[in-house]
Structures are given as structure tokens and as C-alpha cells.
Amino acid sequence: MTDRGEPDAGDENEALPELCDLCGTVVADSTELYAVVPDSSVVHAVDPRLDGKRMVVGCSREHLAELVEQYKGRPFIDAELWAGKIGRAIEARGGKVTPEELTEETGLAEAQIELGMLWQNLGALRWHQRFGGEGPPESTEDRPG
């Protein structure tokens, strides 16, 4: 009753140290700078309005500017973004989703979903080519020419 210690309430939710995305420096004094850059490989966990946007952190104005430059040079590929949206929708439905649900969940047109799927499959195909194996299970490859 007598000993009333000071409450140890830190302001943890206010000032979390950030890491510079360029050099990895820990910024603990809240002087970090933020920018939002376009990145088609990013889909937000829940909010579709934040899809295709990546938040980058820089320890200085110079580093932030360099990060923004780097992302400017990255191609923004719609199909990649759509593939991400499709993946999120499938996950949200526990792996089983009808085409109708997919269009509803992603807000994409059928043609966009097709392209997104194609992008996804292309990625898998490249993986097979690079890391060997027997190739895709079904040999439905079209020979060029």
C-alpha cells in the first residue's frame, strides 16, 4: 500500500523504431521519412484500395529519394497485381472459389482474371524451367513457330 511505483507505461505504440529500406539503419528517434511508391507485386492483406502501393522508409531525404527512384524504374505490371488479388481472394475463401465468387471478391473482369491466372502460371513455368524437374505435369506446351 505504501510503495506506489511509477507506472511503467512506455509509449511503445507511438515510437517503434523503423529500418531504412535502403541502408538498413535503425531509426529510433522518429526522424524516418515515408513515401508510397507504385509496386504491382504488393497486395494489401485486406484493403483493395491499398493494392499496388508499397510504403518505403528512408533514414534521410537522400535515401528516401533513392528508394523512390528505384521503384520508378520497376515496371508496374497489371497482370501481376491481378494475380495478387486473385491469390488473396482464393485464400480468403479457404482455397475454394467459384469463378463468380472470384469476380465478386476481386472486383476484376473475367478477362483480367484470365490474365492474372496466366501471369501466375507463367511464374510457375519459369520456376520449373529454372529448377529443373520433369516440367509441367501436363504437356500442353505450344511449340513456337
Q: Which stretch binds Zn ion (CB under 5 A): 16-24, 36-44, 71-79, 106-114?
A: 16-24
Letters for 61-100 (x = contact with Zn ion by CB under 5 A, - = none) are --x-------------------------------------
Taking CB under 5 A as the rule, does residue 20 contact Zn ion?
yes
Q: Are 50 and 88 in contact (CB under 8 A)?
A: no
- For residues 38 and 40, what is the distance between their CA atoms, to the nearest angstrom? 7
Which of residues 20 and 108 has its CB atom nearest to Zn ion in the complex?
A: 20
Smallest gap, in angstroms, from Cβ of residue 55 to Zn ion?
15
Taking CB under 5 A as the rule, does residue 59 contact Zn ion?
yes
- For residues 107 and 86, what is the distance between their CA atoms, to the nearest angstrom? 10
Query: 18, 22, 84, 119: which one contacts Zn ion (CB under 5 A)?
Result: 22
* Identity of residue 27: V
The Cβ-side half-sphere exposure at 109, using a 13 Å CA radius, reads 3
